[in-house]
Amino acid sequence: MYDIEQIRRDFPILSVSINGHPNTFLDTAASAQKPQCVIDAVSQTYANSYANVHRGAYYLSEEMTVKYEQARAKVRKFLNAASEHEIVFTRNATEALNLVAYSWGRKFLKPGDEVLISQAEHHANLIPWQILRDEIGIKLQIFKIADDGSYVADEFLGLLSEKTKLVSVTAMSNVLGTVFPIADMVKAAHRVGALFMVDACQYAAHRKIDVQDWDCDFLAFSGHKTYGPSGIGVLYGKMSLLEQMPPYQVGGDMVDTVSYDHTTYALPPARFEAGTPAMVDAIGLGVALDYLQNLGWDNLCAHEEELIAYTNAKLQEIPGLKIIGTAADKGGVFSFDLNGIHAQDVAFILDKEGVAVRTGHHCAEPLIKRMGYTSLARASLGLYTSHQDIDRFVNALQKTQSFF
């Protein structure tokens, strides 16, 4: 049972009025709103149990350390990782992707090696590999997607070879919504001896992840997109890989012994968490993941699936509206072109009606170009999105058309 009205009441910001209208927040793919329990966890931690972690031999520091590590345990459970030691806290998914490129990439990639990504990647899963290409002389291979945004197995398999050392692909596109068949892709990558990194930024907020089932080697997601605080993200890595990787940043809290001559580094995950971490945000993330899972994946997925179908049907009724990205398996992401009206004009008018959509290149400029645009408007759904939100969105789109 999924009581949408009850759920919406958990998110205080949804009752804030925007330009005199109800808050129709359709930008969850950029960052999700926070339930009261997350807001409370963050403020209560500061109010009642704040101190630095892993340092002080005193009550508050101990308590904070326990809570921080409990948050790690919650992330382990959320991903079904084999061990908590495989969960590295980062600032966001971008940092997790950069960490792998910097630490694993610089150590293990040699000139001529290939990294394979899709055409649908966010800049965060493109630029780190471009830098390795320019610095190390690896080859960056990019497999094509279909015009409707679908995954094309032959395109992927066609570029996968013995030279491929790493495949790094988004599980759900932030522009097209396309869901990639990660489990199959991982199997194919492993057959040629390549590792597989999943950018689960979008996927993590919408569908259940099981890293052991996928058998992926690395995975990244951001707390702020999974209804948790900003400033916290996660890198999952198989222990056998993390162990071999050098630190990404160095400083306090990540060393074993230090002398002026030599430093030995702590085991993962501490090795990759130099300096004081975003510990309060990590605690908030743990609460957010509990909240998400307590809704029940089946309930959540059923709600979102139904709403996606509803949105699709409603949008298709609007003459002149074209949805960009219509793969059969897609998440609640609707990039669209409305009668060729500039995305920014659309967004300005929607905003006046209290409807929030994102515009621009969505940090995926080559993908937007590939789809034939320079800028797109995008509406994205979340666990709190209601039919009324979609109705208000559609009305606002019709109003927008009346201006042109």
Partner 1 sequence: MQIDELIENFELLEDWEDKYRYLIDLGAKLPPLPQELQSEEWKVSGCQSQVWLVPEVVMENGQKLLDFKGSSDAAIVKGIVAVVLSIFAHKTPAEIKEIAVENIFAKLGLSEHLSPSRRNGLSAMTDKIRYYAEVL
Ligand X SMILES: Cc1ncc(COP(=O)(O)O)c(C=O)c1O
Contact footprint for partner 1 (CB under 8 A): 341-342, 344-345, 348-349, 351-352, 359-360, 374-375, 403-404
In the block, tokens 């009606």 appear at 353
All residues at 6 or more sequence positions from 303 whose CB lies less than 8 Å from its CB, including other chains? 2, 4, 383
Q: Is 327 in the site for ligand X (CB under 6 A)?
A: no
Specify whether 216 is catalytic: no
Question: What mask of x and - would describe binding to ligand X in positions 124 to 153, judged by CB under 6 A?
Answer: xx----------------------------
Instruction: Considering the complex, state which of residue 222 and residue 359 has its C-beta at the smaller distance from partner 1.
Output: 359
Nearer to ligand X, 39 or 127 (CB): 127
Q: Is residue 122 at the binding interface for ligand X, with CB under 6 A as the rule?
A: yes
State the minimum distance, in angstroms, from the CB of residue 356 to partner 1. Answer: 11
| Cβ proximity to ligand X, 92 vs 335, nearer residue | 92
Q: Residue 77 corresponds to which tokens in the numbers above?
A: 């459970």
* 202 lines the binding site for ligand X (CB under 6 A): yes
- Centroid of chain to Cα 339: 30
φ, ψ (nearest 5 deg) of residue 70: -65, -40
Contact set for ligand X, span 361-380 (CB under 6 A): 363
Report the residue from 94, 98, 119, 380 that binds ligand X according to the rule CB under 6 A: 94
d(Cα 398, Cα 121) in Å, to the nearest integer?
31
285 binds, among partner 1, ligand X, none (CB under 5 to 8 A by kind): none
Rg from Cα positions in the chain = 22
222 binds ligand X (CB under 6 A): yes
Residue 154 backbone dihedrals phi, psi, to 5 degrees: -60, -35
* Residue of 24, 28, 33, 92 interacting with ligand X (CB under 6 A): 92
Token pair 């500039």 is found at 342
The entry of ligand X, partner 1, none that residue 345 binds, CB within 5 to 8 Å by partner kind = partner 1
Region binding ligand X by CB under 6 A among candidate stretches 153-161, 198-206, 209-217, 241-249: 198-206
> Which of ligand X, partner 1, none is residue 375 near (CB under 5 to 8 Å by kind)?
partner 1
Contact at 8 Å (CB) between 165 and 105?
no
CA distance linking residue 330 with residue 327, whole number of Å? 6
Per partner kind, with CB cut-offs from 5 to 8 A, the member of partner 1, ligand X, none near residue 170 is ligand X
Taking the least distance from each CB to partner 1, the nearer of 314 and 399 is 399
Question: What are the CA-CA distances from residue 220 to residues 223, 278, 343, 354 (Å)?
Answer: 10, 16, 29, 32
Three-class secondary structure of residue 245 per DSSP? coil
Spatial distance between the Cα atoms of 293 and 78, rounded to a whole number of angstroms: 8
Of the candidate spans 20-28, 55-63, 90-98, 374-382, the one that interacts with ligand X by CB under 6 A turns out to be 90-98
* Residue 359 in tokens: 């515009």
- Pull the structure tokens for residue 371: 């789809």
* 110 SS3 class: coil
Q: How far is the CB of 339 from partner 1 (least distance, A)?
A: 11
* In contact, 259 and 269? CB cutoff 8 Å: no
Amino acid at 307: L
CB of 19 to partner 1, least distance (A): 9
Contacted by 93, from ligand X, partner 1, none: CB < 5 to 8 Å by type: ligand X
Q: Which of partner 1, ligand X, none is residue 92 near (CB under 5 to 8 Å by kind)?
A: ligand X
Between residues 197 and 346, which has the closer beta carbon with respect to ligand X? Answer: 197
Question: Taking the C-alpha atoms of 233, 100, 365 and 320 in order, what is their torsion angle to the nearest 10 degrees?
Answer: -50
90 touches ligand X by CB under 6 A: no
Distance CA 271, CA 247 (A): 6
Contact between 93 and ligand X by CB under 6 A: the answer reads: yes
Q: How many residues bind ligand X (CB under 6 A)?
A: 13
Q: Is 195 left (phi over 0), alpha (psi -120 to 50) or beta?
A: beta
The span from the CA of 324 to the CA of 361, in Å, is 13
Q: Edge to edge, what strands does the sheet with 333-338 contain? A: 321-324, 333-338, 376-380, 358-360
Taking CB under 6 A as the rule, which mask of x and - marks residues 34-73 in contact with ligand X?
----------------------------------------
**Residue numbers of the site for ligand X (CB under 6 A)?**
92-94, 122, 124-125, 170, 174, 199, 201-202, 222, 363
**Residues marked as catalytic:** 363
